[in-house]
Amino acid sequence: MKRSAVIAFILAALLAGGGCLFEPREAQPPLDESEGDWVVPKTPKDVFLNLVTGLSSAGNSNYERSLADEFTFTPRDQDRSNFPDGTFDEWTKEVELEILTRIKGDYQGERTAEFGDENGQFAREDVQVGWAEYEGQYRWTLDPGDGSEPEVYAGTAVFYIEEKTSGWVLVRWEDIDVIGSYPTSGNLRGTFRAAN
């Protein structure tokens, strides 16, 4: 009897105070659609999923969160020699994001990325505790959005991925070979950086 009296008293006090146990909660703000879906990187390959949405979306958050603070890009020697000395020096996370922003400014149509073969498999996959290396192909298709044909940048690279406190992140992207006659990502990156 005493228990039900206490519960009735608490409910009366809540109602008298203007509160209600069954009031709807505040709606959460909608997700920013300019960023695309973020996949919590619980496995090394999740990094590639976030790089894909990071390239295709208007915002850079997914791409940025996929890069380690010490991220660096290394071009093929042949690509390096096609650009002025120093073009690829000190290629940091900040440089990568600056180039990404400029790419998105020039290619305002659809931007897609693929890593690995059509099934997302790589020629070499070496996954250990806390780090992973993937060697295989990539393909970026960039549409200027002005009615002209999309441009394709493709090649073979080694992707070095490490597990940090925030999850798996890309530490280094190293281009190692071409695919057919397509220009590589090094060619794309070098073109934008040399244009500064």
- Print pLDDT tens along the chain (196 aa): 455 555 555 545 544 554 444 444 343 333 444 567 899 999 999 999 999 999 999 999 999 999 999 999 999 999 999 999 999 999 999 999 999 999 999 999 999 999 999 999 999 999 999 999 999 999 999 999 999 999 999 999 999 999 999 899 999 999 999 999 999 999 999 999 998 7
> Looking at residue 27, what is its pLDDT?
35
Instruction: Specify the pLDDT at position 148.
Output: 94
For residue 87, what pLDDT is reported? 97
pLDDT score for 5:
54
With b for 16 or more beta-carbon neighbours within 10 A and e for fewer, the 145-155 pattern comes to eeeeeeeebbb
Q: Helix 185-194 to helix 93-106 angle, to the nearest 10 degrees?
A: 90
pTM: 0.81
pLDDT for the residue 54: 96
Q: Give the pLDDT score at 29.
A: 37
Question: What is the Cα–Cα distance from 5 to 174, expressed in whole angstroms?
Answer: 71
Q: Report CA dihedral (75, 80, 86, 92) to the nearest 10 degrees.
A: -10
